[in-house]
A and B are shown apart, each in its own frame.
Chain A
């Protein structure tokens, strides 16, 4: 008996690098890929400087936040088709309320929106809990609902945003410029904070636990329903944060944004970021580069002189290829154990 346990220990600890690769390899790989792509892009275009970096980082921010929100929900065993709608909703609300407000008020509004988004999505999660309807169905409904609500709040494109608020997300009071730092700082702080919370604290781990094995989690005394609500609340807040970034970039609100597409992008991004759609596995840190890459593919392809239609095809094929590789690896691994 002892023997067999010894084996389990040895066989695994023989190759610690292997364990590291299995747990962090993906994250590492995606970051590398992003850097490689950016370097390649730099060689493709006439000038590559602060303006180009800023335009990638700033404009990639909404998708990154949206994907992080989705990741948190998926890790806890859910999936939220409504995040896209939430983005639009918070974006138009912000644009409508912030117009002509001083920074302080704008910030208060922003905080209010984040809290409201968290609360609303918590209600969505609560509905999922009590109704026992699969997440994907309820959130399909919330997607429609949020979009409708957004249209009701802002029937025609309108509104505005405080210029310093825009600076917070874009490093420029006009929404464009050559200063990527505010966006970088904002992403780094929020995502590493949430990443630390997920991986190190009991509450955070409980998201992984419930996403990974609901009954086991319950037997170890966790309250799955509460964890789901928690994950949706946080995810909703991140979706709203993406919405705020959106308003900061556009300086205006437009409810005719198609939330559905945004949602699907967020799902593609987390999968590229190595988050398992089955829950319990993944790191939000890897979602940052994944989101940027996804945003960044089409500029690269156009810069390569690929026409946009073919670019769309290439993009689809690339995603499938990446997933095929990981899909097979994962399947092999499952066969092993």
Chain B
């Protein structure tokens, strides 16, 4: 039978008004709304500190967004599978610490060593979650503690010595090309973003991530072996965490074991502001990027406000709630 079943629902179609058209457009393109929010925040910040509305001002916000955005990339792909990584910040710190410590041996070794930290810790998370079925929150929470313990003792033993970042990584994290216009860190981030967006949209692995998060039972019955997917994705997230750590450490110039502490919750926030469901199955990295940029601008704004931590935190909290609310409103309207 080629004719569609007559029991299919009848879809009404009356001429929508101009306003409705706009509304419908926004509803179908929630990212446009996020961009709007971003612009508003930039203008508000500009109102607080006029100099901010300059290339270098915006450039800073972009720089701040980089570590958040890269960490949040890890959170995004994990959330798609219904997971989360509470050890991301500690992984970033550890990676940066090792890289800095190994810098005297040359950039290549430093970077490899740093990334290895992420890969190993991530894989361990993946095995815990995928093979031994430990709840992601617990697994990564424990991992965070384990890493802190290991690195504090290693800091006095195998990794004792200077933790100044090598020049190469410092250029990567804080340097720019074209006469201080385009930061390397932003270039790296852009490159990673393309990879991740491709992975989620156009790769089989991306498909398995969404599937696993949306319905694990169905995925299993379709032949997915969840543990493979999970080990892979947590390892990848660990790697991204490490990269974020290197970029951040590169910009800060020297590393201590608190380097990325304050980036954990923002990395989660960036993903959720960007519309990734913490329950898995739905989300895009494009949204997360916007989320990260928004938080980057927010960071600048809070700095200029010179407000004490009290105001900062309350504002931060309100923004997280407000934006995620706005976003789900839109998603619901779809």
Contacts and interface: CB of A to CB of B under 8 A. Distances in A.
Report if A and B associate in a common complex: yes
- With a 10 A CB-CB cut-off, give which of A137, A267, A271, A331 has the most chain B CB atoms: A137
B17 to A, nearest CB: 27
Contact of B309 (A148, A264, A315): A148
Interface in B284-319: 308-319
A132 B332 contact: yes
Contact of B138 (A146, A260, A268): A268
A151 B137 contact: no
B22 interface: no
Contacts of B218: none
A307 interface: yes
Interface residues of A, number: 45
B143 interface: yes
A319 B309 contact: no
A317 interface: yes
A315 B279 CA distance: 28
B138 A271 contact: yes
Q: Report the contact-size class of chain B (Cβ under 8 Å from the partner).
A: 35 or more
B137 A138 contact: no
- With a 10 A CB-CB cut-off, give which of A136, A141, A277 has the most chain B CB atoms: A141
A312 B133 contact: no
B252 interface: no
A152 B307 CA distance: 11
Contact of B137 (A141, A149, A267, A331): A267
Contacts of A136: 278
Interface in B122-143: 128, 132-135, 137-139, 141-143
B204 to A, nearest CB: 25
B329 interface: yes
A140 B146 contact: no
A138 B327 CA distance: 12
Contact of A317 (B142, B152, B319): B142
Contacts of A151: 308-310, 313
- With a 10 A CB-CB cut-off, give which of A145, A146, A148, A327 has the most chain B CB atoms: A148
A325 to B, nearest CB: 8
Nearest to A309: B153
A215 to B, nearest CB: 15
Interface in A279-337: 307-313, 315-317, 319-320, 323-324, 327-328, 330-331
B320 interface: yes
A313 B86 CA distance: 16
Contacts of A148: 309-317
Contacts of A313: 145-146, 149-150
Contacts of A277: 135, 137
B205 interface: no
A271 B135 contact: yes
A323 B278 CA distance: 21
A302 B321 CA distance: 41
Given A140-B265, A328-B133, 5 more contacts: A145-B313, A148-B317, A155-B310, A317-B142, A328-B132
17 contacts: A132-B332, A137-B321, A140-B272, A145-B321, A151-B309, A267-B137, A277-B137, A308-B149, A309-B149, A310-B149, A317-B146, A323-B132, A323-B134, A323-B138, A324-B128, A324-B133, A330-B133
The 8 residue pairs across chains A and B that have the minimum distance between CB atoms: A312-B149, A148-B313, A144-B317, A145-B317, A327-B133, A148-B314, A324-B132, A141-B321
